[in-house]
A and B are shown apart, each in its own frame.
Chain A
Amino acid sequence: MALTRNSSPHAHGPRSTQWVMQQVLIATVPGLIVLTSFFGIGTIINILIASITAIGCEAAVLKLRQRPIGFYLRDYSALVTAVLLGLALPPLAPWWLAVTGTAFAIIIAKHLYGGMGFNPFNPAMIGYVVLLISFPLQMSAWLAPSGLVIDGTVAATPGLRDALQIVFAGNAIDGFTAATPLDAFKHNSGLLVENFYQQTPQFNQGRWAGFGWEWVNIAFLLGGCYLLGRKVFTWHAPVGMLGGLTLMALFNYDGGSSASNGSIIFHLLSGATMFGAFFIVTDPVTSATSNRGRLIYGALIGVILFLIRSWGNYPDALAFGVLLMNFAAPFIDYYTPPRTYGHGKSGTIIHRSKED
């Protein structure tokens, strides 16, 4: 009888990396449904293109790096990157946008840094930023949410055939686009917030923060709560980010004057807020490691998000905020070690190391 011998522990919990990634994928479903109901099939097409690209790139790179392809593909991490990027891209964007972004995310942002677990920057956000900088036109052409009435016409999303033609044959999309609430708000010139809301269809047909988008955010919030409930991550990073954003909005609301930067609810339910809070800043690989660190990390992203939304050149800024803080995460880690059992105040002893 040959007895195997390995090191303790001899029991393992039920969790695996695959399971974590699967949970993330499941949690995107409500957001995807709402996005599709307002913007049509475009997001699903994005996700499909991105996924196929991601799996292809991942397999190719793994082969080049001489790693077991099946083993690494099964961790679903490439798929998660693809899905997140697909969700973030404007629906009915030309197909090469998703391909370029995903390829960049997987090959450069992930594998060039050493593969899963070693990438300092969130691959999906790298892909997004590269596209935003290279193709600003395509990246800001968002469809009007279906059901929004502008100048008496009810916006509708293209059907499947039109959609495929727009994506793959490059047919014009112009007739379907409209400013997002964030865009619209940025171009408010000299009106009190209240008046502006009344005059702008995106807002006067919306309930809290802009037609369509508020529901998209609520759907992602729902998915996030699911992940929290399954303990896939702790509350620290998302609460940090939403908290940071809320505080900034609170201090800059300005009572709704013509110079106001928008209300709290407007910021919380606009653009990529909830998507970012629960699907991007919670990416463990690129965030800070301790709970305290994650709170700070999230809060700073919230602050940067607000700053760029209010005073920057881009209407939304999640990707920039996240990448900036990815950069800062090691520093946050350095200053926020947890207090070890039996030791005095945290953050004192760790500085003893000579390497510092």
Chain B
Amino acid sequence: MSKIWDIHGGIHPAEHKALSLGGPIRTVPLPPTLILPLSQHIGAPAYPVVGVGDKVLKGQLIAAAKGFVSAPVHAPSSGVISAIEEQTVPHVSGMKAPCIVIQTDGNDSWIEHSANPDYRQKTAAELVALIGDAGITGLGGAGFPSAVKLQPRQPINTLIINATECEPYITADDQLIRERAADILIGIDILAHILGRPERILIGIEDNKPEAQQALASALKNSGNTDNAGAIEVVEFPTKYPSGGEKQLIQILTGEELPSGKLPAELGIVCQNIGTTHAIYRAICHGEALISRLTTVTGQACGKPGNFEVLIGTPVAHLLKEAEFDAQRCPKLIMGGPMMGFALPDTSVPIIKSSNCLLATTAEESPPPPPAQACIRCGHCAEVCPASLLPQQLYWHAQSKNYERLEAHHLADCIECGACSYVCPSSIPLVQYYRAAKGEIRLIAEEKRQSDRARARFEHHQARVEQEEKDKAAKREARKLAAEAAKAKREAEAEIAAANPQAALDASPSAGANDSGELDIVQAALARVAAKKASPEDQRKRFERAIETTAARLQKAQQVLAAMASDDSAEQQIKRDQQRASVEQARLRHQEAKNKLAAIETDQAANGPGDIAAKPATTNTASADPGLDRAAAAIARAQKNAAEQASMSPQQKLQKQRDALEKRLGKAQTRLAQAESEGSEQVEAFNHAVATLSEKLKAADLELASGSQDSGPAKVQTHTTEDSN
């Protein structure tokens, strides 16, 4: 028995676990429709790879992972894609998000899939790829893509399997262990194999699950993989909420605290939920993607609570029917546990990969919270806080929106476990305040990041403009000097010629060719243009290089993102968001480089292969280089504009500027809409752009209005209004 440590604080809410532990795992009849949100995990949403009307088989990929931190989605049963649309998804906010809807055909026929029971012959990378392709995410609640967690950059000496299940009511893991301990052990062995056989494998389990412990112990005894059995240890510890938090579990089992903002891997630790372990076993040894999970359906409003093997995407209403749910008695339906779960808006939402529990409470079970009273600073909240924070101080500062003090009090380290709210005698919804404040802080950070970026861009632009000015001035100077020199030379020659005609004659050939410095300059310019045209080969090389470097950068950024912590603390989320943005940027750069290369290649194709310079000058030079072409067009446009503007009244000018702004705004809006529909990372940036443009437009309108007061056709009218004032 290895040593265990205690965590600070914690509470002992009524467990209510017996309610759902009545019998074996139950199955659910195939629902007529399955709703599969594209984002059931932390990271980028998956993108659909099927279309409406397509027939799909059970286990078929229907949405692929987008980027490194993402997870694919598979069809949980066979049928037809009936829609790809926005639907209400299980989320704290009750928001709508893109989903794929499948009408099942009742055959439940599998796609061809291959098992790998001899996983020990495979490399870690191969197995991780299989796990990633199976769409496996953390089943404990957070939903972080498992494959990402299994590629730590540090050597791992401890694998922790989280079998804590510390939330009241939930028994899915408990039941899973009781019935499938042997499979779980194989899953653990797969993890151990991937992580290079860590020295210690600790299965952390609370002392309120003796049957599950027993099942694990006997499975361990029977298990054949002897080279691993010694390393696996089932560690029991006293039941206390929230022992199952990743940070808390690490502390309980190893005595170490995860430094703020660090990943467990940096301590040589990887944590996996025990349900996830089972899913990994199914994925590797049976080739089955993550299309079902164990969900506890419980609460007093259920006639027959229990644990159900349910297909991902099953509507909640369908599942509740199996548990004889009585809607009349249920004022509040919770997905997840009573401490950290969220209340569902209705029963049409689907079960997703991270839905470990459906809690249908009666009014007596989960009474509406009494009105909050004043904080009496009793300090109970601080006593129970597992992160050793001062919740009442956080509450104080959150109320006064003092974000600086909140950060100084480590709000970011709050794991939102709800222990403080639970004990608060004044019934203050503390966690709600923290969540709001965290969101606010994230927003502020994002805004700051954007303004920083804008400033950097502006400064860069400024510097470039200055440099260009300088260059131009230098060139002008050079030209002037050259012209003077040439003039002097001519004069000298003329003098010489006047003095000595013969010598002038001798010199004439060279003088004729080299008649003036200006000619020199023109030639130089021509040569430059030629060089520009003449080096597509170089250009191509340059872009190819660029593609390579941007690709490398992109990969690096993705890796960093992947390695980031999976927990939901605000700090981490901010960091992840930032990293995601840089990934996106890297991707754009990469794309840009590729596009340029492609453009050059098509150019070359159009102009024929090889050296363009070798081609006779008879080819239309302008069309040979679209860049030049464009430049010419731009110049023409600018000239036209200038001419027009010169002929326009200031009023018209303003009007024109305003129109241009409007056009830009329109464009930005369509882009924003597009970005939003794609769920792109850039939504915020476009949002910002739209905001500034509309500001500008407003300003232009104002100016226009005031302008029209001073002059223009509106003059009379405005004067009358002014007079009447």
Contacts and interface: CB of A to CB of B under 8 A. Distances in A.
B327 interface: yes
Interface string B44-72: 00000000000000000000000000000
A75 B373 contact: yes
A4 B343 contact: yes
Interface in A158-177: none
Interface stretch (A10-18, A124-132, A202-210): A10-18
A338 B380 CA distance: 14
Interface stretch (B147-155, B269-277, B382-390, B631-639): B382-390
A225 to B, nearest CB: 18
Contact of A5 (B94, B375, B427): B94
Interface in B61-103: 94
Contacts of B368: 4, 6
A10 B343 contact: yes
A152 interface: no
A15 B331 contact: no
Q: Which of B333, B379, B405, B409 has the most CB of A within 10 A?
A: B379
Contacts of B435: 7
Nearest to B16: A11
B376 A342 contact: no
Q: Which of A13, A20, A349 has the most CB of B within 10 A?
A: A13
Nearest to A350: B408
A345 interface: no
A355 to B, nearest CB: 6
B258 A342 contact: yes
Contacts of A350: 408-409
B331 A3 contact: yes
B379 A284 contact: yes
A8 B366 CA distance: 11
B19 interface: no
Contact of A118 (B334, B374, B386, B416): B374
Contacts of A2: 331
Interface string B413-447: 10010100111111101011001000000000000
Contacts of A234: 379, 383
B343 A342 contact: no
A354 interface: yes
Interface residues of B, number: 77
B432 A349 contact: no
B342 interface: yes
B377 interface: yes
B390 A354 contact: no
A319 to B, nearest CB: 20
A230 interface: no
Contacts of B339: 8-11
Given A71-B371, A75-B373, A234-B383, A11 B247 contact: no
A153 interface: no
A44 interface: no
Interface string B321-336: 0000001101111101
B59 to A, nearest CB: 33
Contacts of B361: 10
Nearest to B93: A5
A19 B374 CA distance: 14
Contacts of B421: 9, 12
B650 to A, nearest CB: 47
Given A13-B13, A284-B377, A8 B410 contact: no
A340 B387 contact: yes
A11 B390 contact: no
Nearest to A340: B410
A284 B376 contact: yes
Contact of B11 (A13, A287, A341): A13
B333 to A, nearest CB: 5
Contacts of B374: 115-118
A7 B429 contact: yes
B320 to A, nearest CB: 11
Interface in A245-267: none
A315 B8 CA distance: 43
A8 B344 CA distance: 12
Interface string A1-44: 11111111111110111011000000000000000000000000
A196 interface: no
Given A341-B387, A342-B259, A3 B410 contact: no
Contacts of B378: 20, 233, 284
Contact of A341 (B247, B383, B409): B247
A349 B408 contact: yes
B681 to A, nearest CB: 27
Given A7-B432, A13-B422, A349-B408, A1 B389 contact: no
Given A11-B168, A13-B13, A340-B410, A4 B331 contact: yes
B343 A5 contact: yes
Contact of A9 (B338, B375, B377, B380): B338
A200 interface: no
Nearest to B342: A8
B369 interface: yes
B427 A16 contact: yes
A341 B432 CA distance: 21
A353 B405 CA distance: 6
A170 B375 CA distance: 42
Contacts of A116: 373-374, 376
B407 interface: yes
Nearest to B7: A341
A343 B427 CA distance: 29
Interface string A329-350: 0000100011111110000011
B369 A6 contact: yes
Contacts of B392: 289
Contacts of A11: 13-14, 168, 338-339, 366, 422
B341 interface: yes
A290 interface: yes
A7 B410 contact: no
Interface string A282-311: 001101011100100000000000000000
A3 B345 CA distance: 6
A287 B379 CA distance: 10
A340 B342 contact: no
Contacts of B380: 15
Nearest to B420: A9
Interface in B119-165: none
A12 B331 contact: no
B343 A343 contact: no
Contact of B343 (A3, A115, A339): A3
A232 to B, nearest CB: 8
A352 interface: yes
B211 interface: no
A341 B413 contact: yes
A334 B15 CA distance: 38
A289 B382 contact: yes
Interface string B194-211: 000000000000000000
B260 interface: yes
Nearest to A341: B387
A16 B371 CA distance: 11
17 contacts: A1-B330, A1-B346, A3-B332, A10-B339, A12-B421, A12-B422, A12-B427, A13-B11, A71-B371, A117-B376, A233-B378, A291-B383, A337-B409, A338-B382, A349-B408, A350-B408, A355-B405
Interface of B: 8, 11, 13-14, 94, 168, 247, 251, 257-262, 327-328, 330-334, 336, 338-347, 359, 361, 366, 368-371, 373-380, 382-383, 386-390, 392-393, 402, 404-405, 407-410, 413, 416, 418, 421-427, 429, 431-432, 435
Closest 9 CB pairs of A and B: A117-B374, A9-B418, A353-B408, A342-B260, A5-B343, A7-B432, A11-B338, A284-B378, A341-B387
Given A6-B429, A9-B338, A341-B388, 17 more contacts: A1-B328, A3-B331, A3-B344, A4-B368, A10-B332, A11-B168, A13-B13, A20-B376, A20-B378, A20-B425, A117-B373, A117-B375, A233-B379, A284-B378, A285-B376, A340-B410, A343-B259
